[in-house]
Amino acid sequence: MPRLCEDRVVIVTGAGRGIGREYALQLAAQGARVVVNDLSVSRSGEDTGESTAEAVAREIVAAGGQAIANHENVADFAGAARMVQAAIEHFGALHALVNNAGILRDRTLCNMSEQEWDAVINVHLKGTFAPSRHAAAYWRDLYKQTGEPVNARIINTSSSSGLYGNIGQINYGAAKAGIAAMTIIAARELKRYGVTVNAINPHAQTRMTEGIRERSAEEIAARHPRWIAPGVVWLASADSQDVTGRIFELGGGHLAAMEGWRRGPAADPIDDVSRIGPVMRDLAHRARRNVDMKGHDLD
């Protein structure tokens, strides 16, 4: 029986631990040739002095798969270009990019420093843009050369923090909301070349989420990365060419397609400040409630 990602070349960023490691291992088990990218930094972005990318690549090779380690900084524009080029030079092609790398520097708005804001926005938002930009340019040029759809994939990582909003994560949430918007826009732009762009909203128990709140043994089991990786492997495969511009909620007992902003209650336009207040208050009260991190209506 053929494997789902046989001979597809896939870059996974932040693949040294946690969800990214699970992606890399499951992709390789399904026949993908994997570029394991990781800076091997701590949860908050500091150098740890170890090479987790090398360890995962060795694990894949030992199991009979193909993988190379890559240590480029995804938020560095030139570094992201080198990472994409490394995949093409080593394996001869690139078929999918999984943007997974991330850090946390949680703080409430009143207490957040400029450095904490910049660090998280840089890794998540620019670290999704830069690899995607270089991969997209490669696929565009390939399409122009051959005239054939390239059947390529970008899989981004959003979060409930960005889609629903989480107290203490204004930097992380803003980045993840931005990634959701990038996903939808890029899907529209790249469709002509045969590139699909989707994102996931993962619920996983990794070092990124440790200590945020106490969880039961059952919750932790439901948040194992094994519940998330199969969806990402499928999105990276050639089989998913008819799905694009979507965000999927995976893990934590969920398998769902997210639905984005839509126009809610409306009224006739008003150009008088003395009359608009009651109308806007009525619209706000009639609109669907915002939701909490579990997707339930806020009071």
From 23, 143, 164, 172, the catalytic residue: 172
CA distances from 97 to 138, 206, 215, 238 (A): 12, 21, 32, 13
d(CA 186, CA 165): 23
172 is a catalytic site residue: yes
Q: In what order do the strands lie in the sheet with 152-157?
A: 66-70, 33-37, 9-12, 96-98, 152-157, 195-202, 247-251, 254-257
- 89 φ/ψ sector (left φ>0, alpha ψ -120 to 50, else beta): alpha
Angle (CA) 173-56-209 rounded to 5° is 25
Q: Which residues are catalytic?
A: 172
